Structure formats: structure tokens, C-alpha cells
Amino acid sequence: MFTDVFVKIIEEISEGFLILNHDHEILFFNEVLLKMLDLRSRDILIHEKEFLGYLNIPGILEGEKSLSIPNAHGVSRDFLVRALQVQSQDGHYILVKVSEEGGASSRLVQLYQKNYKRLFNNIGDALFTADLDGNILTANKAFFELTGYNENAKLKDLSSLYIYHDDLEEKLMRLVEGKALYNLETHIYTKTGGIKRVLDTSWIVKSESGAITGYVTQFKDVTYLKSIESRLMISERNFTILFDTIISSIIIVDPEGTIVNLNAAAESMYGYSWDDTVGEKFDFLFRYNKEQPSLMKIIGKVKENKGRYIETEVRRNVKDGGLIYTFASYAEILDLAGEVIAYSIVEKDLTERIHLEQKLRESIAEVKETQAATIMGFARLTEYRDKNTGKHLERIREFTRVLAIQLRELPKFRDYITDQYIEDIALSSTLHDVGKVGIEDRILLKDGRLTREEYERIKEHSRLGGSALEAVQKELNKESFLTLGKEIAYYHHEHWDGTGYPDGLKGEEIPLSARIVAIADVYDALLSKRPYKKSYSHSEAVEIIRQGRGTQFDPLLTDIFLKNQEIYHRISRFIEFEANPINIEDIIHPEEGR
């Protein structure tokens, strides 16, 4: 038996869930399932049989299976799927759970094992492993580029690399003691006798028994960095005071994107100290994500734009793990010969302004939500008098929305039916019978067939509602969703052949909005039980609308409705299920007992 709590749990759980009846028809699925499979609700509802075919219900009832399921673009991925039959006093149903194949830890292990060698070889800094006798066991491409040795060469005497052997001895002593070594500044020889200044970071490698078998070393080449520092030293004294008192953040990077200097404003804005940042790659510290252009791509744009480039609303990481937004200006720094020796990145913090704009957008969204809630409350005035209408307004709203969306697929309506139009007509559709508040209770709530005079009085609700909304619209002095609301209230009882009311409009003289709501209203009315009429089954309601094609209803809209009739049936059942989850058998077998 379903409860509100049960449905809420399924909606918010981190795995995809699907609920089927014993005939293997879909009753419910949560948002997690849609996001996981990269599908929309209509993809599942329209292609229900095909979708259930991928799930292989009989097979997954026997145990958890790995199944390949395509997304909306036809791209298949593997998922773990399991089904469970649940019996209740109202019957039985099937719970289907869909989860990502493989746990996070196992995927990380597989990724590590599969890509370790590629990662090792593609790290930008020189890396090598060595045993305690000083023999290099493995080295990456960056190591050979730094030292100038051939990748096939076997370096057996590690000490030949170090200019100062005391540095190597100190390093080995600390590693044997079980300590790691961080950024020891030392000097090494290249194959041709050149000298490189590097920062040496090393850590030990142990066997399964815990014995130290060797170590791993990372060389960070700071030769060019030190050269840049030397070349800037002469001018540094002249602008240091100015540099540190400018209120905007300034970071200086070398042509490879390594930070060589920053001012006090940058330290304050990002939360890093000078020592934290200098020598690090700019992107490593501040690039927000991989979708954001790398600094090297930005430098390319600087070159294309005569030495300057500007970005607005740039996302940056800060030290505490937070996010800020900046206005960033990039520029070349030239030496006396006109050569580019570095780049400046001047940034102004826009985070507060961005947050204020976000609050403004949220406020506007709240106003829209309040407006929609107010209109729905206004529309329910009639429902408060007639307790038999149930979720009529919610169903009308969703029927109208889906019909308008489907109509937009036709080239004739693609430009006219915008996203805003769809939202407006869905909201306005709830006002279609608002004029009934002006009809006397003795007529509106009569338990039985109306007399001719009473029916004529009921028909006046269309003029009453349309006139009321027209008066409100005039007060606004502009077009709004009430323009559609007025059209719908006035004309949703007009017939395609001109036999409707209140004005006997014919064909396309009837506003499109009213023609759409007319089908939605009649379909829901046929499905609904009233004191003076029985409720019709879905198939009976569809047949009645089919018979009204070209007489009561717009032929084109009727064809769209008939082609997608099962979607409207599902919407009706979903809304009823949300309102009364305990009455699941009435939803599964809506035609029983009629």
C-alpha cells in the first residue's frame, strides 16, 4: 500500500526507482531515474513497451542484472537493475531499482590500474623511481626532457645528476628515516653539462611487509622562474610599493602559466599567501573546472588581441574551497627588447554583485510563483463551492500544457507557441470556469439534469468569467497571461462548426487558446464522475472526442490528441495517484466498478 511518505522517499532517494502494476504497466518513477538515464518523462511514457523491453522484467525478478539502456540520444550505458514483487491488501506491484554499475571505489581502482602508466608519463614535472642503491628504475617523459637523456638510456649512477652530493645524502638520510622531502632546492646536471635549478620532492616506497625498497622523486624545474625573477629584480624596487597598494588583485605569471609574483590584494582575495602560490601553476590553484578555458588558451587570445584580453564573470577557486566571480584583464609584460617575459592578470572581485543579481532573479521567480499560486487560488473559487471536481484544475493545466507543446512541433506554430506562451496558457487554463462563481448554488450544485432555463443560466458563466478577466486586464494597461485567460473563459465552449456559445464563433474565428482548452476540458469532464452523470472510461472519452472532430473540436488539435491519447491518460492517472496514492487499484483498473 502506497503512502505519501513512501512516495516522498522514492522521489528523494539517490537511486532510480520505477513502480509497475502486475500487468507490467508503469505507475510511477522518480526524478533520479530520469537524470541517471538521461531521459525525459515523455521518452518513457511514449516508448513504454520499448523501455520495459530493455529492463527485461522477468529476468531481473530472478536477481540483479547488468543491462544496457540507451538514453534519449540513442547512446547506451550499462546499469545494475533489480526488481522486487511487493504484495499488499490492494493487490501486488513491482519495484524496480536502477543504479550505476560498479561502486565508486571499484571504479577508482579500475581507473587507477588502467591509467597509471599514462598518468605517470604525462605529468608535466619530471618523475622517477629509484632503489636505495641509486639506480633509476623508471622515469617519465618529462624527466628525459629535463635532463636531455634518451628515453632508452639506463642511468645507474643517480649521484651523477646532483651537482652537490651533500643534497643527495641529506635526502637519502631523511627518506630512510621514513620522512618525506618537500621542495628541497638543489641543482642537477643535464647530459650536455648544463645546469638546472630544481625543487626536489621525494617520498619512500615500501614493500608489502613494510620494508623501504626505494623512493619516488619529483623535480620541479624552476630555472626559468629564477631567471624571470632575476630579470624583474632591477625594476621590482621601483614598483613594489605601488604593486602592493593597488586595490585590485594582480598576479604575474611566466609564459608557461607559472605564478612568479602577486600583490597583497591577490593574497587577500584568494586567501593564499605569497609562499603558497609562487612556483605553482595558475590553473592548478584558480581554474574552476575543465570546461573553463585554460590560462594557456587565454594567453593565446592575448596574443591575438595585441597584448590584451578581458573576461567578465570569471569563476575562480579560493583557498578555503569557495567560489568567487571576477572581472579579469590579461596583458603582456615586455622587457626592454620588446620580448614577452610574463603576463599580468588583474582581477576585480564581482562576487557580491553576482550574488545580488542572483537574489534579484530569485525574487522575480518568487513573484512568478506567488502570482501562479494566487491565480490558482482564484481559479479554485468555483471548486470550493463544488466539492466533486477533485484535481480538475491540475489536470486541465497539464493537459493544456502538453497539447500546446505537441502543437509547437508543427512548423506553422513553431514561432507563435513560445515557452512563455506555453506557461501562460497552462496558467490561464485554470481560469476557464471562473465565471461560475456568478451562478446560483441551486443551479450550479443541482443534483440532476438542468431545465432549459437553468442550462441557459449556466451558459452565462463564459461571459461572466471573460468580462471579469477583461476588466482586470484593463487595469493592468498591458497584455499578460490574462489575455489568454480572457479568451479561454469567453470561448472554450465555442464549437468548430459554429454551434457553440456564447457568440457562435466558427473555425479559426475561435482563439487558438480556447480551442486547445476545449479539448482538455471535455476530456477531463468525461473522465470525471458528477452527481448528474457517470464517469466514462478513457477509451469511451477518446471515442466521444473522435466523433466531435470537425464539429465540436478543431480537427488538427483532435488529431494531435488522438495520436497522443495515452499520454493524457497517463497524466490523469499520475495526478490521481499523487492525490490518492492509497487507491492504487482504482488507478490500475480505472474501468472496474463502472
The pLDDT tens digits for 254-285 are: 999 999 998 888 888 889 998 888 999 999 98
Residue 563 has φ and ψ, to the nearest 5°, of -65, -30
Residues near 6 by beta carbon (within 8 Å), at least 6 away in sequence:
581
User: What is the number of residues in the chain?
Assistant: 594
* pLDDT tens figures, 439-483: 887 887 777 788 888 888 888 888 988 888 888 777 666 566 678
The amino acid present at 270, given as its one-letter code, is Y
- Report, as an integer, the average pLDDT of 557-563: 94
**CA separation for the pair 491, 293 (Å, rounded):** 54
Q: Where does residue 318 rank: exposed (0-12), middle (13-18), buried (19+ CB within 10 A)?
A: middle
Residues near 553 by beta carbon (within 8 Å), at least 6 away in sequence:
495, 496, 515, 518, 519, 522, 545
Residues near 394 by beta carbon (within 8 Å), at least 6 away in sequence:
575
Class of domain 4-101: alpha beta
- Report, as an integer, the average pLDDT of 346-360: 81
Give the Cβ contact number of residue 153 at 10 Å.
Answer: 13
Domain ranges for the chain, please list them. Answer: 4-101, 113-221, 225-349, 380-563
Q: Comparing C-alpha atoms, which of 350, 308, 301, 297 is closest to residue 327? A: 350
**CA separation for the pair 503, 491 (Å, rounded):** 8
Q: Which residue has the higher pLDDT, 153 or 589?
A: 153
pLDDT band at 105 (very low <50, low <70, confident <90, very high): very low
| 5: pLDDT strictly greater than 50 | no
Q: State the distance between the two ends of the chain, measured CA to CA, in whole angstroms.
A: 23
Given this model, what pLDDT does residue 77 score? 86
Class of domain 380-563: mainly alpha
Do the beta carbons of residue 183 and residue 280 sit within 8 Å? Answer: no
pLDDT band at 592 (very low <50, low <70, confident <90, very high): very low
The amino acid present at 87, given as its one-letter code, is Q
**CA separation for the pair 531, 392 (Å, rounded):** 15
Residues near 46 by beta carbon (within 8 Å), at least 6 away in sequence:
564, 566, 567
Q: Which residue has the higher pLDDT, 172 or 582?
A: 172
Asked whether the domain spanning 380-563 has the same topology as the one spanning 113-221, the reply is: no
Grid coordinates standing for 549? 472532430
Do the beta carbons of residue 80 and residue 66 sit within 8 Å? Answer: yes
Given this model, what pLDDT does residue 358 score? 78
Query: What are the angstrom distances between the C-alpha of 56 and each of 47, 66, 545?
Result: 15, 11, 36
Give the Cβ contact number of residue 523 at 10 Å.
Answer: 25
Whole-number mean pLDDT of the chain?
Answer: 81
Do the beta carbons of residue 557 and residue 515 sit within 8 Å? Answer: yes
| 370: pLDDT strictly greater than 80 | no
| 485: pLDDT strictly greater than 80 | yes
Question: Percent of the chain beyond pLDDT 70?
Answer: 79
Q: Which fold has domain 113-221?
A: Beta-Lactamase (3.30.450)
* Peptide bond before residue 502 is cis, with ω within 30 degrees of 0: yes
| The residue to which cell 604575474 is assigned | 252
CATH of range 225-349; options 3.40.50.970, 3.30.450.20, 3.40.50.300, 3.60.60.10: 3.30.450.20
Residue 228 has φ and ψ, to the nearest 5°, of -60, -45
Q: Comparing C-alpha atoms, which of 263, 472, 238 is closest to residue 347? A: 263
Q: Which residue has the higher pLDDT, 586 or 344?
A: 344
Beta bridge partners of 568: none
pLDDT band at 380 (very low <50, low <70, confident <90, very high): low
Q: Which residue has the higher pLDDT, 238 or 331?
A: 331
**CA separation for the pair 227, 43 (Å, rounded):** 61
Rg of the Cα trace of the chain? Answer: 36
Do the beta carbons of residue 124 and residue 142 sit within 8 Å? Answer: yes
pLDDT band at 510 (very low <50, low <70, confident <90, very high): very high
**DSSP E strands: which ranges in 232-366?**
249-253, 259-262, 308-317, 323-334, 340-349
Grid coordinates standing for 205? 616506497
In three-state secondary structure terms, 150 is coil
Do the beta carbons of residue 32 and residue 15 sit within 8 Å? Answer: yes
Residue 245 has φ and ψ, to the nearest 5°, of -100, -10
- Check residue 532 and give left, alpha or beta (phi > 0: left; psi -120 to 50: alpha): alpha
